[in-house]
Structure 1
């Protein structure tokens, strides 16, 4: 099932103004043509159900937080990754991708940090630390210790607003909706080095469904 997110209402209303003006002016053909614009804007805010809405995911699984194309998958990049040792997956969202964001991993939300910034093209390396963004950190207790996953919503050249609908202290499930970014943007995910990355640059991923990393299970380790 596909629904339209509530953030669509104001943007769609603005996009409908040209069609309304044309209709009031008696320009029926132009009005019909311009009516495509609010329809396209509403479609941008589509919110389809995903497998993670129905099926539980195990504690070893990290899923994509966004639809889009993997720009980078490998060791944490200098100037992009948080301090420490990380593996990184960076995903670019075009204006045609679903922009509802999901938690890549389940656990307690330890940090939510919004940082204002610029609106460079999201595929540029420097956009990760110069653009408007929200950093989120999830931690989860597992046998043998605590696992931490850090992920980041980054707006781009077209996207001018990041929407985060979760708060510190919340318990999230893997694949749970956490917000969205308005128009083309980027998401970065950082996992500890002991987790195996399962995606590569150029690969298309689906939020809440594509497994991007996995910790070796206890049975694999023995």
Structure 2
């Protein structure tokens, strides 16, 4: 089973406690071993193949979990953009994937609090922005942003990428240690009418289609 980076570092703590408890209090050793096993399971990193039949310009989910946020907002250039946030429980896979192919323009860590990741106030939490240029845009390339948001338990956002990296759709870009949230601020061409998910829907990173490309849909209709 493939594991995300750092898995053994986290699992080592309960594993060492299990060895100590084996001498002092054997029943506690079993609890500690179970915790170490859970940590390794939490950091599992399964292989994913993008869903068949989805257009290359369709946006895929960046995280496993439940859609907790859908809204339209205005970016710095005054353009309407759609945001989709997915909340991850501790039982979900926490390795995150880019929803569209593109080149990383910037990676920015923003310090903040650790409020519950499913709340709106969580957007002031510690977070990591990964800005990309969408290379699947029908016309000129368009920017989009994926944001990892730390939660009450999640204390670290881990990025695997840096500026200039070229990523295929569904490729891993990072993970968050324990439950948290991942937001996708879609390219400007996507509108609310292009979304295929609603709040409360379950998603799988690199598999669930978040939104269809409007240009591709028009082309299919023709």
Please report the TM-score for the alignment, with normalisation by the length of structure 2: 0.88
Partner of 2:14: 15
- How far apart are residue 110 of structure 1 and its match? 1.2
Does the CA contact (< 8 Å) of 2:60 and 2:99 recur in 1? yes
Q: Distance in 2 between matches of 1:56 and 1:3?
A: 27
Question: Which deviates more, 185-194 or 141-150?
Answer: 141-150
Does the CA contact (< 8 Å) of 1:73 and 1:197 recur in 2? no
SS at match of 2:120: coil
- Pairing partner for 2:196 from 190, 195, 198: 198
Partner of 1:213: 211
Matched pairs, number: 214
Alignment partner of 1:42 is 2:40: yes
Does the CA contact (< 8 Å) of 1:57 and 1:174 recur in 2? no
- Pairing partner for 1:101 from 84, 96, 99: 96
Higher strand share: 1
Structure 1 stretches of 4+ with a deviation exceeding 2 A read 27-30, 54-59, 81-84, 140-144
Q: Distance in 2 between matches of 1:65 and 1:164?
A: 13
1:57–1:7 CA distance, 2 compared to 1 (3 A): farther
Q: CA RMSD in A?
A: 2.0
- How far apart are residue 151 of structure 1 and its match? 1.3
Does the CA contact (< 8 Å) of 2:142 and 2:188 recur in 1? no
Alignment gaps of 5+ in structure 1: none
Alignment gaps of 5+ in structure 2: none
Does the CA contact (< 8 Å) of 2:96 and 2:173 recur in 1? yes
- Pairing partner for 1:177 from 172, 189, 194: 172
1:56–1:114 CA distance, 2 compared to 1 (3 A): farther
SS at match of 1:200: coil
